[in-house]
């Protein structure tokens, strides 16, 4: 059960860390207590695994199938035993079988070494004479996403607190599913074009990708969309394919993962698309929401612009190219221009990264104070009632 693990504090002071052997992999502790000494080797593979290996693999098996269970067994407990730096203790509720169906504890595999060890109740065992190593500090940098961390916090610090810090599940998940569905299907289109299969990008094929993506996402997330909403989402994708079909030749790359390593954290992000028009590179970020008004939503658009500034900077360093334009593409736009484009020359990367630093510092310090309520977010916020209560008290 890894739900409450904190990798940065794997051995809290004054506490005993309880974990599976798999979870302990790669860690080291002054004292380790290992249980499960009733275990015996068990076959993990099926007859189908053997058949597939013999049919499709020209190489000999890495190890004999009949001995694999034993090798796996000792590999597992080697991992457990080697976690200890100063002392390893084997623990078991000792049991000698007296009836049918009972097992030896420890099992015959551990008995030879277990029986030869000194018991903790032995009068000659003095734990105070043992020099124990110190627990090593874990110097892990936390990773933050520009989209799901920085932009959410800038939109509303309290909303960030509930969703990201306290891990409340959002009530309104349909919008998230809608956006993910549109993004993944557009990604399928881009991958097909980049493979040289643009002739396969037909309305029927797009519909097939769309339905397959919906089935996978809805089953994984246990969230579903009504049929009219599904039709609208598919229209977003089909409309994009029709509008951009003549520009397929410009596609350079899609879904590029980026990271910016800072002294105290790592900033992560993903560029949806890079287009190349005769050496003039453009990065594009897709949005399935309604296209914002350039004047009324200036603050929101500016946050997106700063996001693209950092992405453009990282792309230029990673690919050694020059990004000339940065574009927000709104798939919901039917008749008008779906793009909001920024000139790369307007970018102030140093200033943008500095503003991100300030946001990350507030996140780390858990500074969720609000000077005023973000009214545009409040009307659809799951925590509106909580804020109403607290702002009324103030």
CATH of the domain at 279: 3.90.320.10
pLDDT of residue 4 exceeding 60, the answer is: no
**Residue 89 belongs to some domain of the structure:** yes
Classify residue 304 by burial, with Cβ atoms within 10 Å: 0-12, 13-18, 19+: buried
- Name which of 88-97, 158-167, 307-316, 340-349 the model is least confident about: 340-349
262 and 153 belong to one structural domain: yes
Domain-ending residue, one of 86, 101, 129: 129
pLDDT of residue 59 exceeding 70, the answer is: yes
Contacts 24+ apart (CB under 8 A), 375-378: 377/155, 377/156, 377/159
Q: Can you give the three-state secondary structure of 199-214, one letter per residue?
A: HHCCHHHHHHHHHHHH
Contact 186, 331 (CB under 8 A): yes
- Name which of 88-102, 255-269, 377-391 the model is least confident about: 377-391
Top-ranked range on mean pLDDT: pick from 114-118, 149-153, 205-209:
205-209
Q: Which residue has the higher pLDDT, 233 or 166?
A: 233
Q: Which residue has the higher pLDDT, 329 or 104?
A: 329
pLDDT of residue 282 exceeding 90, the answer is: yes
Domains contained in the chain, number: 2
What average pLDDT does this structure show over 202-214? 96
113 and 159 belong to one structural domain: no
Going by pLDDT thresholds of 50, 70 and 90, the confidence category of residue 394 is very low
Residue 209's domain comprises 142-388
pLDDT at 299: 86
pLDDT at 78: 95
335 and 292 belong to one structural domain: yes
Percent of the chain with pLDDT over 70: 93
What average pLDDT does this structure show over 127-148? 82
Record the pTM.
0.69
**Residue 198 belongs to some domain of the structure:** yes
65 and 186 belong to one structural domain: no
What average pLDDT does this structure show over 344-370? 84
């Amino acid at each position: 059960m890894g739900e409450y693990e904190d990798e940065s504090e794997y051995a809290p002071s004054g506490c005993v860390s309880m974990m599976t052997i798999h979870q302990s992999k790669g860690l080291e502790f002054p004292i380790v207590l290992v249980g499960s000494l009733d275990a015996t080797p068990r076959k993990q593979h099926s007859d189908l695994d053997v058949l597939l290996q013999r049919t499709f693999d020209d190489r000999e098996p890495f190890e004999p199938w009949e001995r694999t269970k034993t090798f796996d067994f000792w590999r597992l407990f080697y991992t457990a035993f080697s976690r200890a730096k100063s002392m390893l203790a084997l623990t078991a509720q000792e049991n000698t079988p007296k009836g049918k169906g009972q097992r030896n504890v420890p099992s015959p595999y551990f008995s030879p070494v277990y029986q030869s060890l000194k018991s903790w109740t032995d009068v000659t065992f003095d734990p105070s004479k043992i020099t124990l190593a110190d627990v090593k500090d874990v110097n892990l940098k936390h990773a933050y996403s520009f989209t799901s961390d920085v932009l959410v916090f800038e939109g509303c610090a309290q909303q960030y607190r509930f969703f990201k810090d306290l891990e409340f599940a959002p009530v309104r998940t349909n919008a998230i599913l809608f956006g993910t569905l549109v993004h993944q299907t557009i990604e399928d289109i881009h991958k097909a074009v980049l493979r040289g299969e643009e002739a396969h990008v037909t309305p029927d094929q797009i519909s097939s990708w769309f339905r397959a993506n919906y089935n996978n996402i809805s089953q994984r997330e246990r969230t579903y969309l009504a049929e009219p909403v599904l039709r609208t989402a598919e229209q977003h994708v089909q409309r994009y394919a029709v509008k951009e079909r003549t520009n397929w030749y410009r596609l350079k790359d899609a879904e590029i993962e980026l990271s910016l390593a800072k002294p105290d954290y790592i900033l992560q992000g993903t560029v949806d698309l890079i287009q190349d028009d005769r050496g003039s590179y453009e990065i594009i970020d897709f949005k399935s929401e309604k296209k914002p008004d350039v004047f009324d939503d200036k603050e929101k658009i500016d946050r997106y612009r700063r996001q693209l500034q950092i992405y453009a900077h990282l792309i230029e360093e990673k690919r050694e190219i020059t990004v000339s334009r940065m574009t927000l593409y709104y798939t919901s736009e039917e008749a008008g221009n779906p793009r909001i484009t920024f000139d790369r020359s307007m970018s102030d990367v140093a200033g943008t990264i500095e503003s991100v630093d300030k946001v990350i510092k507030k996140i780390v310090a858990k500074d969720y104070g609000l000077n005023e309520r973000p009214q545009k977010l409040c009307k659809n916020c799951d925590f509106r009632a909580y804020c109403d209560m607290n702002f009324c008290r103030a």
